[in-house]
Amino acid sequence: MQQLAVTRLAEQVQALVAEGRAPLLLDVREPWEIATASLSLPGAQRLDIPMQQIPGRLAEIDPQRPVLALCHHGMRSLQVALFLERQGYPCTYNITGGIDAWSRQVDPTVPLY
């Protein structure tokens, strides 16, 4: 499992796309959090699955794609990325600092909560 810094996230997504490995942006926050503030990255498919539902919904996550796990501050997504790695997902990343860091460091139009 690797860490991705929000300041280089869009660039890293584009590098994966250029390699022919379009990533999955896996948002593990609760629906109310996603409604409050969301993130989309050109070239990445988005999938919203709350953290506690991940084990029961593994079939929705392609193990051949890079998975970029996102949450509010990066802790839930870290747990999910580690879990996915143990389940045989070889290319998992945690987005360090989560959407909060994205809002503070990259795009201040994304609401803080």
Q: Is residue 41 part of a domain?
A: yes
Half-sphere exposure of 111 (CA within 13 A, CB side): 8
DSSP 42: T
Provide the domain count of the chain: 1
Q: Is residue 112 part of a domain?
A: no
CATH of the domain at 46: 3.40.250.10
Q: Give, for 98, the enclosing helix (H) or strand (E).
A: helix 98-105
pLDDT for the residue 1:
87
Q: Is residue 92 part of a domain?
A: yes
Query: pTM of the predicted model, to two decimals?
Result: 0.95
Q: Is residue 69 part of a domain?
A: yes
Q: Is residue 28 part of a domain?
A: yes
pLDDT for the residue 19:
93
pLDDT for 75 beyond 90 = yes
Write out the catalytic residue numbers: 71
Domain of 45 in residue numbering reads as 2-106
Q: Is residue 113 part of a domain?
A: no
Q: Is residue 111 part of a domain?
A: no
